[in-house]
């Protein structure tokens, strides 16, 4: 029982709108950021699963650091890799003069309530 309580308090709770919820919590501007979220095959129905995510786009250096800070504040999100001044090959994203390309990769630990 303690493991379930720990997982519930330290992971993102599973629902059908996880991606939309995280976009809102992180205040991601979808014209500047591309948020890719992938549910791994074969992990559906598990109590605790790890999903991969990638956020890439263009923004100021300080805003990217704020984004990293916001990611670390959300239980269940981790940062595996962060790249600054990266080449971003997405013509749909807006880029201002002072913006840098960035890419953040990590894991989302997702908790499915007991059945």
- Summarize pLDDT for 52-81 with one digit per residue, the tens: 999 999 999 999 999 999 999 999 999 999
For the whole model, what pTM was predicted? Answer: 0.86
Average pLDDT over every residue of 10-37: 90
Of 108, 76, 77, 106, the C-alpha closest to 6 is: 76
Q: What is the pLDDT of residue 91?
A: 86
Average pLDDT over residues 37-45: 70
Total structural domains in the chain? Answer: 1
Instruction: Please list, in sequence order, all residues whose beta carbon lies within 8 angstroms of the beta carbon of residue 26, skipping any fewer than 6 positions away.
Output: 35, 55, 67, 70, 71, 74
The Cα–Cα gap between 113 and 78 comes to 21
| C-alpha separations of 30 from 34, 35, 43, 73, 102 in Å | 6, 8, 28, 21, 14
CATH of the domain at 18: 3.30.70
- pLDDT of 31 higher than 70: yes
Domain extent for 65: 2-111
């Amino acid at each position: 029982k303690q493991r379930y309580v720990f997982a519930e308090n330290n992971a993102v709770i599973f629902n059908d709108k996880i991606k939309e919820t995280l976009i809102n919590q992180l205040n991601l501007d979808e014209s500047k950021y591309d948020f890719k979220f992938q549910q791994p095959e074969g992990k559906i129905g598990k109590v605790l699963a790890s999903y991969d995510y990638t956020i890439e786009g263009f923004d100021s250096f300080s805003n990217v650091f704020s984004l990293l800070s916001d990611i670390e504040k959300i239980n269940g999100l981790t940062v595996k890799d962060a790249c600054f001044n990266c080449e971003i090959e997405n013509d749909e994203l807006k880029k201002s003069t002072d913006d840098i390309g960035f890419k953040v990769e990590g894991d989302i630990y997702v908790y499915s309530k007991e059945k």
